[in-house]
C-alpha cells in the first residue's frame, strides 16, 4: 500500500511540475522510509481550523471532508468532500506556517498516510523542483476556495445544489445528506425542501467559470 500511496503522491507532483518526471525514482527512494500510516480505527480530525498544520495527509479511498464554520450562519460549510484519492491539507497554512482555514476529518477505518512538514522540506532540499509543484497546488487551492466562497454569495441554495449534482454525478448518492448540505452551505433541514423543489427538473443556471471546481 505504501508504494501505491507514494505513486499517487508523485503523480500529483508531476501533474503540477513536468520537470519532476525525471526524478521519480529518487523521490520514491527518499520518501519510502518517511511515509507513515495514521491510526485509523475511529473517525478523527486530522487538521483543526486556526491551528498550524504540521503534516500532509494522503488517502486512496474512503471519505474525508474539509469544513469550517459559515460566515453567515451557525452551521458548518464544507468546501471539500474527498471521495477519491486525495492529497489533504491547507497548502498555504502548511507551507507558510499559517493557521488552517478549514478542518479536515475522515470517516472511521479510512487508511490515511502522512508526510511531516520536515519530510517535505527534506524532499525540497534534495529535489528543488518539488517546490514548484507545491506552489502550484497552493495557488490552485486558493483559487478554488475563493471561488467556493464567491458562489455561496452569488447563487441561491437551490442553484448551488444543482451545480453540485452536475459536478459529482453518480458519486452524489454516496455522500450523506448532512455532508451534501454542508457543501452547499445550508442547514441539513433545508436540503429536503430543495430536493422536492428540484423534482420539476428546472435547468441548471449558468455559473461563474471558476466556480465549484471538482474538490475530490
Averaged over successive runs of 10 residues, the pLDDT of the chain (216 residues) comes to 92 96 94 90 84 96 92 81 97 97 92 96 96 98 95 91 92 92 90 82 52 44
The reported pLDDT for the residue numbered 1 is 67
What cell numbers appear for 210 in the block? 471558476
The reported pLDDT for the residue numbered 125 is 97
The reported pLDDT for the residue numbered 211 is 44
The reported pLDDT for the residue numbered 98 is 97
The reported pLDDT for the residue numbered 47 is 95
Domains defined along the chain, listed by start: 2-145 (2.60.120.10)
The reported pLDDT for the residue numbered 70 is 77
10 Å Cβ neighbour count for 72?
9
The reported pLDDT for the residue numbered 213 is 46
The reported pLDDT for the residue numbered 209 is 47
Torsion of CA 210, 51, 182, 141, to 10 degrees: 20
What are the distances in angstroms from CA 154 to CA 71, 112, 160, 190, 208? 14, 35, 9, 18, 9
For residues 126-136, b (16+ Cβ closer than 10 Å) or e, as one string?
ebebbbbbbee
Cα(64)–Cα(23) distance, integer angstroms: 30
Cα(10)–Cα(25) distance, integer angstroms: 10
Amino acid at each position: 500500500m505504501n508504494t501505491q500511496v507514494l505513486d499517487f503522491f508523485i503523480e500529483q507532483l508531476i501533474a503540477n511540475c513536468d520537470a519532476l518526471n525525471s526524478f521519480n525514482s529518487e523521490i520514491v527512494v527518499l520518501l519510502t522510509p518517511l511515509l507513515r500510516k495514521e491510526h485509523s480505527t475511529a473517525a478523527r480530525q486530522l487538521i483543526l481550523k486556526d491551528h498550524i498544520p504540521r503534516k500532509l495527509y494522503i488517502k486512496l479511498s474512503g471519505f474525508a471532508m474539509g469544513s469550517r464554520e459559515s460566515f453567515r450562519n451557525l452551521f458548518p460549510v464544507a468546501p471539500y468532500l474527498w471521495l477519491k484519492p486525495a492529497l489533504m491539507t491547507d497548502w498555504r497554512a502548511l507551507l507558510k506556517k499559517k493557521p488552517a482555514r478549514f478542518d479536515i476529518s475522515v470517516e472511521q477505518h479510512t487508511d490515511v498516510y502522512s508526510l511531516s512538514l520536515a519530510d517535505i522540506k527534506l524532499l525540497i532540499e534534495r529535489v528543488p523542483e518539488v517546490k514548484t509543484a507545491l506552489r502550484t497546488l497552493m495557488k490552485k487551492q486558493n483559487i478554488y476556495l475563493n471561488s467556493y466562497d464567491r458562489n455561496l454569495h452569488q447563487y441561491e441554495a437551490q442553484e448551488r445544489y444543482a451545480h453540485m449534482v452536475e459536478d459529482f454525478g453518480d458519486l452524489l448518492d454516496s455522500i450523506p445528506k448532512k455532508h451534501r448540505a454542508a457543501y452547499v452551505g445550508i442547514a441539513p433541514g433545508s436540503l429536503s425542501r430543495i430536493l422536492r423543489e428540484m423534482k420539476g427538473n428546472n435547468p441548471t443556471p449558468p455559473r461563474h467559470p471558476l466556480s465549484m471546481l471538482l474538490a475530490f
